[in-house]
Amino acid sequence: MSILKVARMGHPVLRAKTRAIERSDLKTATVQKLIDDMLDTMAEYHGVGLAAPQVHEGLRLFVASLDAGEDGEHDEPQVVINPEITVVGTDIVEDWEGCLSIPDIRGRVPRAREIKVRALDRHGERLQLSAHDFAARVIQHETDHLDGVLFFDRMRSLESLTFLDEYSGTGRPRTESLMNILVTGGGRGIGRAVALAFAEPGSIVAIAARTRTELDDTARAIGARGAKPITLAVDVTDEEAVARAFGEIRAATPVVDVVVNNAGVGGGQPIHKTDTASWRRVLDTNVLGTFLVTREAVPMLPDGGRVINMSSVLGRFGVPGYTAYCASKHAVIGFTRALALELVKRRITVNAICPGWVETGMAAQGMQTAASAMGVTLQEFRAQALGAVPIRRMIEPDEVANLVKFLASPQAAAITGQAYNICGGQTMD
């Protein structure tokens, strides 16, 4: 498989109408390899769709991740051949779009909210799709490519065209939503929700995790919202790796407005069963990692920037068997309070967030571990755990992301050195 060269605006192939693919041609090795190469190319560029003309092929074919950006789950990318679109209803929605063939530019494009599609899949079988909102927008955008139409041809006005580089330097216009942000642990759970909450046209959203595979889906969703994603495969406990990661960020922008230290690990064991390596793993990730990332970030923060550290309700109280985790999350709050005073002259605010049970994979794993230790089922432990939460439910990642957005906003400029609980009343100190 190969990464294909993407045709840029001005190339004649982007303005030519494509030809339909016969079933007999579809089954050939040449076409099947083209499909595989297009899928790889779309993934390489963190795209949500790629049409054959964009890789210099005049065939009526596109590939797309039709659910990217809608939620945390992602199906396999869809291969769509010879599509025919029928608009359902009369609702038209104007929203931001970009294109791999017109890099670093976004514009607001009106599209039908709901459509039906008849096509063939890569095996020549009939494909019928019903799509709305984001998926419908992607399909209409890619089908336009097959007819030689670019997204700005559909715009009602060119006034909304946004050249992303205009917002990547110092002194650029800032709004409540238009910020450059770094989120560690940004590939899933709370980190993913935070990254997407800040993904606005003109923003740069850098996400970091130990492995790049955790980041690819989130990066595609960030790009679909009009922001520029930067993916950083980095272990936050590795001092040299963190420094290299910030080198990549500086290559894209000299300014990071908001740093969210979200990377963390959990796990519990009675102290007499806890080995030194396990203890250090928790403390190094949750505390040392926060320090290393913040130390690199502070010179890039503008006056009035934000540092937001993810602690936990276990930074508020103790839980038997969680000495390392509780110690690390208490330490994050102490770090937050000291750094807030250190940076106050630059009007940089530093705050911590203390979530309770949040609906994430990490929480599910923690519940399963605790359930096994207690000799009960996961469902029984979950019911017991939520019984101690006054609102009787899990916190959603988006709810935590909303609190992060508030603390990053101009309205929170007078708030610093604080630790905010978001736990459904689990603790009230």
Does domain 164-422 bear CATH number 3.40.50.720? yes
CATH superfamily of 12-160: Peptide deformylase (3.90.45.10)
> Residue 71: helix, strand or coil by DSSP?
coil
CA distance readout (Å), 424 to 140, 388, 393: 42, 10, 8
**CA–CA separation, 301 vs 251, rounded Å?**
15
Q: Is 336 helix (H, G, I), strand (E, B) or coil?
A: helix
Return d(Cα 427, Cα 314) in angstroms, integer: 10
Q: Among residues 45, 322, 325, 420, which one is catalytic?
A: 325
pLDDT tens-digit map of 177-234:
568 999 999 999 999 999 999 998 889 999 999 888 889 999 999 998 989 999 999 9
Domain boundaries along the sequence of the chain: 12-160, 164-422
Interval 272-284 mean pLDDT: 90
Least confident of 107-121, 265-279, 322-336, 415-429: 265-279
- Asked whether the predicted pLDDT for residue 373 surpasses 60, the reply is yes
Distant-in-sequence, close-in-space partners of 197: CB < 8 Å, separation ≥ 6: 398, 401, 402, 404, 405
Residue 67: pLDDT band with limits 50, 70, 90: low
Q: Is the pTM of this model over 0.75?
A: no
Mean pLDDT of 289-315: 93
325 flagged as catalytic? yes
